[in-house]
Structure 1
Amino acid sequence: MPKLVIVESPAKAKTIGKYLGRGYKVTASMGHVRDLPASQLGIDIEHGYTPKYITIKGKQKLVKELKTEAKKCDGVLLATDPDREGEAISWHLANLLGLDPAAPNRVTFDEITKKGVKEGMAHPRAIDMDLFNAQQARRELDRLVGYKLSPFLWRKVRRGLSAGRVQSVTVRLIRDRELEIERFVPEEYWNIDANLKPAGGGASFTARLSASADGKKVTVRTKEEADKILASLEGKPYSVAKVDKGKRRRAPAPPFITSTLQQDASRAFGFSATRTMRAAQTLYEGMDIEGHGTVGLITYMRTDSLRISDEAVAAAKSFIGGRWGEKYVCPTQRHWKSRSATAAQDAHEAIRPSMPELTPDEVEKSISGDTARLYRLIWSRFMASQMADCLMDTMSVTVGAGDWLFRASGYTVTFDGFTALYEEATDDTKKKETALPPLEAGQALNLHKLTADQKFTQPPPLYTEAALIHALEENGIGRPSTYAPTISTIIDRGYVEKENKKLKTTPLGQAVNQVMLEEFPDIVDPTFSAEMEKKLDVVENGQADWVQTVDEFYQGFAQSLEKAEKDMEGKKVKVADIPTDEICDKCGRPMVIKSGRYGKFVACSGFPECRNAHPLVKDTGGLCPVCGGHMLLRKSAKGRVYYGCGNYPTCNFMTWDEPVTERCPQCNSTLFKRKGQLICLKEGCGFTKDAAPKKE
């Protein structure tokens, strides 16, 4: 009789089944099989926070099938993912199937390759109760906050709202950034730049005013100051006062962990955290690759650890030496320190290709789209981490003119090292250093142009997903595995919206955040949230009791809830509507944008006396190829974006293709974007061309 191996997904079951062969039957639990009930709290607070677990709705048939299969087989091995959630699924499966959690029936795979599966199967163990209890504590904390706070928000703000232990503090971070921007007072300053060229010939370069001749730093605040300096420089000779030369080594970034993968994919491709993790899960669970069959292409993608196995390092260095030459191989063994020693799950490696020799070019013969792009990113980052440093000659030049000193700095790459393969994406848009011409102290310079540019200090930018994930990680809020679902939740709830990749709170989000700040300051305090995460890590390490950890949190939370009920007795928070220029065609009052259960819509400000309303549509600037009407962005019942003619129902034209500002050179109609091409949809035209790639 075969042994039954239970994993979480059919894709993973297919890959592992190929490696295990006939002696095993591999099946999937399809994720969690039991959870707290959706219709009630499901926690007995009075009796040690005892959870009331039930089979998840719709999973009864699956559980019955698993029980039947278990009886037919010669033992059961639980092979769910190697993290808190995976451990919890295994514990629940053991409970349902009558298995002893202390027996060696738990196996884990850090990579789903023949070697990884063989290694995991060779080391079965008992279910890690500390890991499970950490998950159980987290689940109960989230349930207590959600089920106790949400009804309060229903009564005080609006029905259907929700609050969460991590989502509420995340909304606060976004709102705090907005308030910081609103309160920011710009300060004027002026940059004075001299475009210079060596008198004996050579490339021109630009130096910026930095100090007076006696070395005191200069900041130019007004136009009057700038004009005075420009006048004092009139006719003055320029020469090189000092040249500092040096060398710089630039080391590669470490391999990805969950959070840095989400950030880099957001910057490089505009991927949401959810989209990144979906693609990474597919890569981990296994894909059909020509010449290799079904194989897991990357190691486990939920990890805080920067550790890399000696075997993977050797494989990478061997490949690098063969592809670029031995001088590109890092001559030492690199080690990186995890950002949070308490949070690092060192049982896993960093995210890396499971077979470093399997190049993106080879993989892309079999896969495409998000998985291909993400594999290339992961492979390139890992390979670069094992390559030699980039070496640069640096030069810093001080230029004297009259009573002033100008500065310029630059570099020349003498050995590209890891940059031959990969450079980390960044949000930094500042002008980078460039190479300077050969210069020596005392050398005369010719002034080509002297300019003074007015500038103003800038507030911090709104959060992008990448920047928000970085902030959550820096503040110790949540865990990398929670970032994607948290961001999705606050957008789905209507607390936050994404516009041009920037995250902004809605009036609803602002109202809820204000209530939380006033009545539940601990829940939205980043420091408090970080301390809670540390306590969960202590539970995971077996150094604290999970029930006591939950109780310590709940006692303070229950007092805050009781006080909030008294503070807000008889009060209701009004959510601000967004004004528009539109006038109601029924009563003449202004129309406003409101948020409802299915998103935003336009309604009369005179509600409930006047119930005039219509869907919110956005003019794309494009014109209908049929009648010339304005093309409007609309959403289907399922929330999918499409584009329809504003003259509907007279004109029924609609398309999934996005209108662009560019016009057709043949017929002057609006062009539409479809799968990397710009096409003309005017009947009989047929013009197409490749779309220009987006600048990341």
Structure 2
Amino acid sequence: MAHTLVIVESPAKAKTIGKFLGRNFLIKSSMGHVRDLPKSQFGVDVEHGFEPRYITIRGKGAIVKDLREAAQKCQRILLATDPDREGEAIAWHLSHLLELPQGPVRIEFNEITRNAVQEAIKKPREIDQNRVDAQQARRVLDRLVGYRLSPLLWRKVRKGLSAGRVQSVAVRLIVDREREIEAFEPEEYWSLTAWLLSGDDGEAFPAKLYKYAGEEPEIKNEDQMRAVLASLEGAAYTVTQIKRRERRKNPAPPFTTSTLQQEASRKLNFTARRTMQVAQQLYEGIDLGGSEGPVGLITYIRTDSTRIAAVAQLEARDFLMERFGPEYVPEGLRQFKARSDIQDAHEAIRPTSIWREPESLKNVLTRDQFRLYNLIWERFVASQMQAAVMDTTTVDISAGPCLFRASGSVIKFPGYLRVYQEGSDGEGREQEQRLPELSEGEVLRLQSLEPKQHFTQPPPRYTEATLVKTMEELGIGRPSTYAPTIETILERGYVIREQKQFIPTELGRVVVDLLKEHFPDIIDVEFTAHMEQQLDEIEAGKLPWRQVVAEFYGPFSRVLERAEKEIAAIELPEEVSEEKCELCGRNLVVKTGRFGKFLACPGFPECRFTKPLLETIGVTCPKCGGEIVARRTKKGRRFYGCQNYPECDYVSWEKPAGRDCPHCGTRMVEKSSRHGVRLICPNKECAYEEMVQEAR
């Protein structure tokens, strides 16, 4: 008979831990939370200190019964739920359900490896009530907002809506950004590039206009550009100054939850939810086969810290010395500066062993698991490597009243760049460009002058990466809330995701405007960030949780009462189409769901007919001549197909262009990037492409 019962959250984690502990331990899973506030009732006694009324979650009765029976057979019980607020709360609920006496019953570990688990078993502690209270405060606050404000939205706007402290602010960010874009008025400006030659041969290199008549060039129209070009007629292009310097570029820190979600979005095209699902699998354990069996491949995935355990850094130095040589190993352990507002409860996300190289695990990981593990492994390895060294050269060239500047950089020592290059949100990376050997006083030959017209651009729409980044910077939410917040605002139809960008729906705009007018605190960025700070202070034992909830609820309830009287019912306008319902004959209306617009019968719920809203792109099908339309997969991914499907099976993930490749005749497709729009031939044997619209 087992001597000790260890309760974890998931079966995968139970299987992994079971391999480490032997026969004297019985490992059981709670399958997540076992108690919560009731779904069908408010569940918070406002009159008696906001006392929450917890019940066993529907469907968890058999699990609780099994845990109780197992507990009666064991002499010792240890609660090994996740090392965060949610995990602490689950342990607290389990201790109540199992009627455990106060004492050291809680164990936690940052990684699921044999050493980490066995060390944790030796150091049980009492349940951290401050951490539990912080989770209770968040849960009660969310219930107060959700169960008081959401019914108001149902009555005044539409059934099925919801409002929340964090999700409402996230929608506001997206709506405010969209209105910035709509109100933006582009301004014209011009740039000038001189293509210059040194000596008798060699390639021309570009130099940008840097100063005009000693001032920053402000060329706002074509007439002003013509004046600049006229001033350069017959001018000599002379090198006036050359600056050379060596620049060191340090690696990015290892991943936090936020930066992992951002980079997985940029590089792997993962949603935040998909990233966390796969990361949870890697954390809980993968069966590697052989003598190792199941083992957690990465450390705990909900963290805001870039701190790394010294033992992991020392292991990384040994790895780098063997794989790359001493020149890639920094002199001391690399430390990364932390923001002042982080919890720093756990170290950064890293591989549990740097020696488990991704390629060696490819056969035991799914494609998603491999790609995400490879990203985490490369980022951690790079973070512990020597800086990259760049040789940069800046050349100033005078010509008449103009001063041109040419810059070039080459990698002198790759350092961490040998392993990993951080992604970006659209900002251009430094161009690695060699300049010819030049000398001060040298006169260069002008090959051509290239004037270009530009227009200022509005701020970009939020993507998952930039929304998570902004929420983190503003202090809205915490590592565990980013992914569920994004999923909620999509499911409620407040925003849609189009080509990785978030666009607010009319419903999202209406709800944000209503909340701005009547509940300014709920949707205020600074107020929401302050609430998150108060939750952190509850966890630190500096504030009582009931006081924080009471200070919020008093003003909130008064505003809610006033809003109930002042807000009139809002009718959302519906766009009526010419198409008829195939079941009842009514004109279909345009609706917006989480994957975009579709047609639905206005007779809902009596008539539930729906059909896709076909979006034509003005291009004919190369197979049958029909219209090409934009469609979506069940997961919301956009693709293009023939309107005559299934009779015609033409399909393309990329947007088809209205012309064929001049080399092989294949229908070309459009690809957009931060550099502009290109037409590309999809025929793998033909590499033809051309730029049709440069980014401005």
**Same fold per TM (> 0.5)?**
yes
Spell out the pairing of 1:507-518 with structure 2 (5 A cutoff): 507-518=506-517
Distance 1:206-1:640 versus aligned 2 partners, 3 A rule: closer
Contact 1:192 1:452 in 2 (8 A): yes
Aligned to 2:174: 174
* Pairwise CA distance, 1:595: 3.7
Shift of the 180–584 alpha-carbon distance from structure 1 to 2, 3 Å rule, reads same
Partner of 2:333: 333
Alpha-carbon distance change, 656 to 281 in structure 1, aligned in 2, over 3 angstroms = farther
Instruction: Look up the match of 2:90.
Output: 89
Distance 1:324 1:456 in 2: 47
User: Partner of 1:681 in structure 2?
Assistant: none
Cα offset for 1:365? Answer: 2.7
Counterpart position of 1:358: 356
* Structure 2 equivalent of residue 122 of structure 1: 122
1:501 alignment counterpart: 500
Between the aligned partners of 2:685 and 2:5, the Cα distance in structure 1 is: 51
Instruction: Determine which of 565, 571, 575 is the counterpart of 1:574.
Output: 571
Residue 237 of structure 1 and its aligned partner are, at CA, apart by 1.2
Q: Does 1:62 align with 2:63?
A: yes
Provide the rounded CA distance (Å) in 2 between the counterparts of 1:217 and 1:237. 21
Instruction: Report deviation, 1:436.
Output: 2.1
Partner of 1:399: 397
| CA deviation vs aligned residue, 1:35-92 (integer Å, no higher than 9, x gap) | 0000011000000110000000111111111111111112211000000000000000
Tell me if 1:38 matches 2:39.
Answer: yes
Residue 303 in structure 1 maps to residue 303 in structure 2: yes
Q: 1:230 aligns to what?
A: 229
Greater mean alpha carbon deviation, residues 555-564 or residues 475-484: 555-564
What corresponds to 1:450 in structure 2?
Answer: 449
User: Is 1:250 paired with 2:249?
Assistant: yes
Is residue 617 from structure 1 mapped to residue 613 from structure 2 by the alignment?
yes
Measured at CA, do residues 265 and 620 of structure 1 come closer, stay the same or move farther in structure 2, by a change above 3 Å? farther
Q: Quote the Cα distance in structure 2 between the aligned partners of 1:668 and 1:246.
A: 49
Q: 1:670 to 1:604 in 2, by over 3 A?
A: farther
Q: Tell me the CA shift for residue 230 of structure 1.
A: 0.6
Give the superposition deviation at 1:304.
Answer: 1.0
- Partner of 2:439 in structure 1? 440
Q: Measured at CA, do residues 290 and 419 of structure 1 come closer, stay the same or move farther in structure 2, by a change above 3 Å? A: farther
Partner of 1:18: 19
State the distance in 1 between where 2:24 and 2:552 align: 48
Give how far 1:689 is off: 7.6
SS in 1 for 2:480: helix
Query: What's 2:678 paired with?
Result: none
Q: Mark the CA change 1:33 to 1:603 in structure 2 (over 3 Å): closer, same or farther.
A: closer
3-state SS of paired residue (1:46):
helix
Q: Could you tell me which runs of 5 or more consecutive residues in structure 1 were left unpaired when the two chains were aligned.
A: 673-686
Q: Deviations over 1:181-208 (max 9, x none)?
A: 1111111100011011113544421111
CA distance in 1, matches of 2:594, 2:501: 23
- Secondary structure of the 2:161 match is coil
CA separation of 1:274/1:637 partners in 2, compared to 1, >3 Å: closer, same or farther?
closer
CA contact (8 A) 1:631 1:659 kept: no
What is the rounded CA distance, in whole Å, between the counterparts of 2:220 and 2:21 in structure 1? 72
User: Residue by residue, what CA displacement relative to the aligned partner does 1:316-357 show, whole Å, maximum 9, x if unpaired?
Assistant: 111111111100011122212222x343233x1100000011
The answer (yes or no) to whether the contact 1:4–1:27 under 8 Å persists in 2 is yes
- Tell me by how many angstroms 1:634 deviates: 6.4
Letter in 2 for 1:593: V
Q: Does 1:369 align with 2:367?
A: yes
Question: Which amino acid in structure 2 is aligned with residue 48 of structure 1?
Answer: G
Taking the aligned partners of 1:428 and 1:235, their CA distance within structure 2 comes to 39
* 1:492 paired to 2:491: yes
In the superposition, the TM-score normalised over structure 1's length comes to 0.89
Between 274-283 and 403-412, the greater mean CA deviation after superposition: 403-412
Partner deviation per Cα, 1:416-453 (whole Å, 9 max, x = no partner)? 10000001011134363333222221111111110110
Amino acid across the alignment from 2:591: K
Q: Which residue among 377, 381, 385 is the counterpart of 2:383?
A: 385
Contact 2:495–2:504 at 8 Å: present in 1 too?
yes
Contact 2:581 2:609 survives alignment (8 Å): no
Q: 1:449 to 1:632 in 2, by over 3 A?
A: closer
**Matched residue, 2:410:** 412
Contact 1:619 1:630 in 2 (8 A): no
Contact 2:581–2:587 under 8 Å retained in 1:
no
Counterpart position of 1:471: 470
| Superposed displacement of residue 121, structure 1 | 1.1
Q: Deviations over 1:595-654 (max 9, x none)?
A: 47998432589x89x999741233587999998866767679998999998558xx6888
Q: Show CA shifts across 1:19-42 (max 9, x none).
A: 001110111110001100000110
- Secondary structure of the corresponding residue to residue 47 of structure 2: coil
Contact persistence 1:384–1:422 (CA under 8 A) = yes
Deviation string 1:532-578 (CA, Å, 9 cap, x unpaired) is 0000000000111011011111111112111211221xx11122335
Query: In structure 1, how many angstroms separate the alpha carbons of the residues matched to 2:264 and 2:65?
Result: 40
- Matched-pair contact (CA < 8 Å) for 2:516–2:523: yes
For the structure 1 residues 642 and 386, does the alpha-carbon distance in structure 2 shift closer, same or farther, using more than 3 Å as the test? closer
Aligned to 2:133: 133
State the one-letter code of the partner of 1:526: V
> Whole-Å Cα distance in 2 between the matches of residues 150 and 631 of structure 1?
41
Going from structure 1 to structure 2, the CA distance change for 1:641 and 1:390 (only over 3 Å counts) comes to closer
CA distance in 1, matches of 2:300, 2:644: 51
Shift of 1:381: 0.6
TM (normalized to structure 2)?
Answer: 0.89
Q: Is the 8 A contact 1:204 1:437 kept in 2?
A: no
Distance 1:416 1:643, change over 3 A: closer
SS of equivalent residue, structure 2 residue 94: helix
Contact 2:280 2:301 in 1 (8 A): yes
Give the Å deviation of 1:511.
1.0
Question: What's the offset of the Cα at 1:408?
Answer: 1.7
Aligned residue number for residue 322 of structure 1: 322
AA of the residue aligned to 1:47: H
* 2:514 partner SS: helix
Question: For 1:515-554, what aligned pairs fall within 5 Å after superposition?
Answer: 515-554=514-553
Aligned length: 666
SS of aligned partner of 2:165 = coil
SS of alignment partner, residue 208 of structure 2: strand
Are the structure 2 counterparts of residues 653 and 659 from structure 1 closer, same or farther at C-alpha, using a change threshold of 3 Å? farther
Instruction: Give the root-mean-square deviation of aligned CA atoms.
Output: 3.4
Letter in 1 for 2:323: R
Separation in 1, partners of 2:412, 2:374: 26
Q: 1:93 to 1:485 in 2, by over 3 A?
A: same
Distance 2:323 2:643 in 1: 56
Describe the shift of the 1:368–1:660 C-alpha distance in structure 2 as closer, same or farther (beyond 3 A).
Answer: farther
Q: How far, CA to CA, are the matches of 1:690 and 1:491 in structure 2?
A: 40
Between the aligned partners of 1:52 and 1:338, the Cα distance in structure 2 is 39
Alignment of 1:137-286 (within 5 A): 137-199=137-199, 201-213=201-213, 215-286=214-285
The residue that corresponds to 1:426 in the other structure is 424
Distance 1:411 1:307 in 2: 32
Structure 2, unmatched stretches of 5+, are 670-681, 688-696
Give yes or no for contact 1:153–1:162 (8 Å, CA) kept in 2.
Answer: yes
SS in structure 2 at match of 1:71: helix
Identity of matched residues, %: 50
**Contact 2:241-2:395 within 8 A present in 1 as well:** yes
> 2:124 aligns to what SS in structure 1?
coil
What residue number does 2:692 align with? none
Q: Call closer, same or farther: CA 1:277–1:655 in 2, change over 3 Å.
A: farther
1:166 partner SS? helix
Matched AA of 2:338: S
Tell me if structure 2 keeps the 8 A contact 1:145–1:163: yes
Would the alpha carbon gap of residues 590 and 205 (structure 1) be closer, same or farther in structure 2, given more than 3 Å must change? farther
**Cα-to-partner distance string for 1:282-310 (whole Å, 9 max, x where unaligned):** 00000022453211000000011111111
CA distance in 2, matches of 1:578, 1:443: 67
